[in-house]
Amino acid sequence: MFTLVLRAKADAKLSSALSLNRTVSPEAYDQNNENLGIALNYGLEAIADGYGMLQNTPNPFNGETQIGFKLPKATKATLSISDAKGALLYKVEGNYAKGNNQVTLKKEQLGASGVLYYTLETNDFTATKKMIILQ
């Protein structure tokens, strides 16, 4: 996984100025060699049909952090945490309410430090963000 940091030279709407195309086919694969799909996220919150995932706070963190997300309807969701190599460190499944939800994680639950990735998955939505745990 990677992040692009861009600096604008003129006023423009980023979603109009930047897109993925087929000149170079964008692809990403998981540990089972299944295509994950690639999408652009414009902003701090990934929003699609009322879904959203916020950056964890605080970030970076040493003791505990909160991961917030928004659901357009009550549904089952899975939050998973992986290291930079893709190894699963933590997974929690639950039935979450419509609207804003939050999961609190302690450093001890993850058993790792450095850069980690968290992914929220429902039947209709998937988003991944990066977090940093201090030693």
Q: Do 75 and 95 meet the contact criterion of CB atoms below 8 Å apart?
A: yes
Q: In CATH, which of 2.70.98.40, 3.40.640.10, 2.60.40.1930, 2.60.40.10 is domain 44-133?
A: 2.60.40.1930
Partners of 96 in beta bridges: 75
Which pLDDT value is given to residue 94?
94
Q: Could you give the CA distance from residue 95 to residue 40 in angstroms, rounded to a whole number?
A: 27
More confident residue, 67 or 39: 67
Domain residue ranges in the chain? 44-133
pLDDT reading at 90 higher than 90: yes
- Return the H-helix or E-strand segment holding 15: helix 14-17
pLDDT (tens digit per residue) in 24-43: 566 777 777 777 666 665 55
Q: Could you give the CA distance from residue 98 to residue 94 in angstroms, rounded to a whole number?
A: 13
Confidence of residue 111 (pLDDT cuts 50, 70, 90): confident
